[in-house]
Structure 1
């Protein structure tokens, strides 16, 4: 009996997953544990491994196609095994006349049918197909040198090189742009950021906080904290604590604009943006207002580590009420962070720099931290937003108050 490979459920809120790339084609041999496909949902992207030895008998979901969790995306089995017809979720062309309330629109199925037929006519690896699509090559014109005339990555590269040489011969000065399809995590981030700017009234205000005493306190407490708690306190930990305390004093910033109403939350669920190789994720520290500085610090580091190792679930990246994003490690001072919908605020943190500052009548070297607050003007106005940022600044300039 063939083994079904199904679309996994990546978090409680997941409604649909997409096959971003097939690493195997129908008929390919596989061993248990071999990566056979990449799938993604929201900001999670992961590999699907073969659950058994055998061959890929049937691919039921095309690349780029979204399906609900639990849908069979392919079958693994012995070469002579047959896939049960009544279990194959792919709709055949002759069934398109049937009216199904769960089908959004029949024209989408009609346009997909020639693509599936083309995949059956032309043998081509998934990587080669992607490369050809990115370069706008007609795969019917490509000559395959792989087993059974299959078009390989090298065949596409050979054709691209030949095209480049032909173009250079005709127009030596013309440079061909590099085309990269937007998919997976990059596509999700692009859509969310565009939607954020289009659906909210965003405004950014800035301040600088004098963190000279904070830097000194952090260095002074370093050895003691590591020895007692096995944890290292960072400036980011203190900033997170300052933000949580300020949100409790200014609850209108701990709000969201949803369906023409402002929803103010009693708890603070703090999002901490983490940069990854393929994009950006925002793990959430739930009930951050109930945690002391050390607890907050440990959870921030644990969530960041899980994010970099791709071990976060979808639920761990949803439900934040306010977000912190830092570009200090990149040497950036002020910037304009984009809201993480439907939140009303996000704080951008820059790099700490030493500056010459007048203190009374004398000039002193002080450590200064740039802060950029983007807020939704539909939820609150400039004055209350500035009051919130001023409170964050006060906590950072008087760090002892965060420990009391």
Structure 2
């Protein structure tokens, strides 16, 4: 008997999962534990293993399509086994519906004669003006979708169809001029990439984002970091990002207006700091969350950040571990980037972008010294707070980074 493989539930809040790719084709033999497909939900990517030995006899959900958890996505059984899969059932329903529509009132199917085709055309509801316009433009009425009463094709429907056809021709001509068809490789956007694309676009559309920049002298901080690493080398290696995270948490406790969100025309301020730390993966970006970060010491914060980063790279994060953040940090220092414009992880009101520290000659009093300067970029939601309080928030982070001993308290 065929075994149905269903869409797994990757988290308590998961409503839909997407088949990112199939590793097997219909008719191929699969072994228990072998990679069968890639599954994604929200920002989670995971592998789906075959639960039994057998033959993949039916794929019910194609690549790029999403279905609720528990929905059959494929069937494994014997090579010659036949099943009534959702795909077959859907096909049968469509075919039966077509047969019913083709049948007369006495249940006898009409032949595809010229008379039948003529009757089909006559059944199309269209205004005289729209019909004349469509004929002049060379449009087939059966290909037009009517927006009038009972699906009647109107003048506006024809004008829209003409405009769409015109735009399509322009795109094709532009593509033919600018691109060699053989040099274009199209990849269907799905899974994690699709979620990120949607969220970034929604973030820009539904918030008033502004980015301000500031530089912090982290010479003393780097010196303290190296000293602590030597002392704690057997326990944990503190990174510069750990100190920055600690500075952000302490500052959020002081500037509560940044630890907030605008939801349904009301500003919600949070008592706890749930800190999101962006982690870059091969397939996209994920943001694991350090919950109740205000209760963590520097060492505890560092351990949690590293643990979450390790889980993210192994694809082991749950949906719950990537939701509920109140503020996010994204660091591009590894890539040599200095200032950049991070996009809000909505509904949060702020996100801090950290660039690469560079050695710069700086006057300290009358003396020219070599100092390590760290660029910081703060994007905030101007609907929630104005430029002055946002600048005060960023200034407070700068002051903590320039007086690193305060981060140890």
TM-score (norm 2): 0.76
Q: CA deviation at 1:240?
A: 0.2
Aligned length, in residue pairs: 328
Three-state SS of the structure 2 residue aligned to 1:226 is coil
Q: Distance in 1 between matches of 2:366 and 2:401?
A: 24
- Of 360, 379, 382 in structure 2, the residue corresponding to residue 377 of structure 1 is 382
Change in CA separation of 1:384 and 1:97 when aligned onto 2, cut-off 3 Å: farther
Q: CA deviation at 1:91?
A: 4.5
CA RMSD of aligned residues (A): 2.1
**Structure 2: runs of 5+ lacking an equivalent:** 97-176
Given that 1:245 and 1:289 are in contact with CA atoms closer than 8 Å, whether structure 2 keeps it comes out as: yes
- Of 201, 204, 229 in structure 2, the residue corresponding to residue 222 of structure 1 is 229
Residue equivalent to 2:154: none
Q: Does 1:61 align with 2:61?
A: yes
Residue equivalent to 1:332: 337
Structure-to-structure mapping, 1:178-193, within 5 angstroms: 178-193=185-200
- Of 391, 399, 403 in structure 2, the residue corresponding to residue 394 of structure 1 is 399
Q: Distance in 1 between matches of 2:372 and 2:341?
A: 22
Q: Does 1:238 align with 2:236?
A: no
Q: Distance in 2 between matches of 1:36 and 1:340?
A: 33
Given that 2:64 and 2:191 are in contact with CA atoms closer than 8 Å, whether structure 1 keeps it comes out as: no
Q: CA deviation at 1:88?
A: 4.2
Q: CA deviation at 1:14?
A: 0.7
Q: Distance in 1 between matches of 2:306 and 2:89?
A: 46
Residue equivalent to 2:220: 213
Q: Distance in 2 between matches of 1:90 and 1:48?
A: 23
Change in CA separation of 1:72 and 1:206 when aligned onto 2, cut-off 3 Å: same
Residue equivalent to 2:308: 303
Q: Does 1:41 align with 2:41?
A: yes
**Higher Rg of the two aligned structures:** 2
Q: CA deviation at 1:93?
A: 4.1
Three-state SS of the structure 1 residue aligned to 2:75 is strand
Given that 1:347 and 1:372 are in contact with CA atoms closer than 8 Å, whether structure 2 keeps it comes out as: yes
Given that 1:18 and 1:65 are in contact with CA atoms closer than 8 Å, whether structure 2 keeps it comes out as: yes
Q: Distance in 2 between matches of 1:90 and 1:244?
A: 55
Q: Distance in 1 between matches of 2:258 and 2:395?
A: 13
Q: Distance in 2 between matches of 1:190 and 1:294?
A: 34
Three-state SS of the structure 2 residue aligned to 1:339 is coil
CA displacement 1:87-110 (0-9 Å, x = unmatched): 747652454699xxxxxxxxxxxx
Three-state SS of the structure 1 residue aligned to 2:273 is coil
Change in CA separation of 1:174 and 1:58 when aligned onto 2, cut-off 3 Å: closer
TM-score (norm 1): 0.77
